[in-house]
Amino acid sequence: MDVDTRLLRYFVAVAEEGTLTRAAERLYVSQPALTKQIRQLETRLGVRLFSRSRSGMALTEAGRALAERVPGLLGDWDRALRETRGAASRAARALRVGFLASAANEATPRIIAEFTRRRPGWRADMRQATWADPSAGLADGDVDVALLRLPFPGQDALRVAVLFTEPRWVTLPATHPLATRELIAFRELWDEPFVAAPPETGSWRDHWLAVDERDGHPVRIGAVTDQPDDWLSAITNGYGIALAPASAARFYARPGLVHRPVSGVSPSRVAVAWAPADDAHPVVQDFVRCCLDQADQADQANHAGHADHAGQASVASAGQTALTAEPQATGP
pLDDT at 307: 56
pLDDT at 68: 93
Distance CA 137, CA 4 (A): 19
| Contacting residues for 184 by C-beta, under 8 A, at least 6 apart | 170, 178, 260, 261, 262, 263
Is 332 a residue whose pLDDT tops 60? Answer: no
**Which range has highest mean pLDDT (28-37, 67-76, 142-151)?**
142-151
Determine what percent of the chain is predicted with pLDDT higher than 70: 88
pLDDT at 153: 86
Q: If 0-12 CB within 10 Å is exposed, 13-18 middle and 19+ buried, where does residue 90 land?
A: middle
Distance CA 154, CA 274 (A): 12
Is 322 a residue whose pLDDT tops 60? Answer: no
pLDDT in tens, 134-186: 999 998 888 999 999 999 888 999 999 999 999 999 999 999 999 999 999 99
Cβ(37)–Cβ(7) below 8 Å: yes
Provide mean pLDDT across the span 104-114. Answer: 93
pLDDT at 324: 30
Distance CA 228, CA 231 (A): 5
Is 311 a residue whose pLDDT tops 80? Answer: no
Q: Helix crossing, 31-45 with 5-17: angle to 10°?
A: 110
Distance CA 152, CA 51 (A): 33
pLDDT in tens, 252-298: 999 999 999 999 999 999 999 999 989 999 999 999 999 999 998 87
Query: Which is more confident, 26 or 223?
Result: 223
Distance CA 320, CA 306 (A): 21
pLDDT at 303: 65
- Bridge partners of residue 271, in order along the sequence: 148, 162
pLDDT at 103: 86
E strand spans, the chain: 50-53, 56-59, 94-100, 123-129, 145-150, 159-166, 168-173, 184-185, 193-196, 220-224, 242-245, 257-263, 268-274
Q: How confident is the model at residue 213 (pLDDT cuts 50, 70, 90)?
A: very high
Distance CA 1, CA 17 (A): 27
Is 4 a residue whose pLDDT tops 90? Answer: no
Distance CA 123, CA 213 (A): 41
Query: Which is more confident, 276 or 79?
Result: 276
| Residue 292 CB-half CA count within 13 A | 10
Distance CA 111, CA 134 (A): 21
Average pLDDT of every residue of the chain:
87
pLDDT in tens, 237-246: 999 999 999 9
| Contacting residues for 75 by C-beta, under 8 A, at least 6 apart | none
Distance CA 112, CA 125 (A): 10
Determine what percent of the chain is predicted with pLDDT higher than 90: 63
Tell me the helices (H) and strands (E) count for the chain, helix number first: 9, 13
Q: Strand order in 168-173's β-sheet?
A: 184-185, 257-263, 168-173, 242-245
Instruction: Give backbone dihedrals phi and psi of 316, rounded to 5 degrees, phi first.
Output: -65, -40
Instruction: Give backbone dihedrals phi and psi of 116, rounded to 5 degrees, phi first.
Output: -60, -35
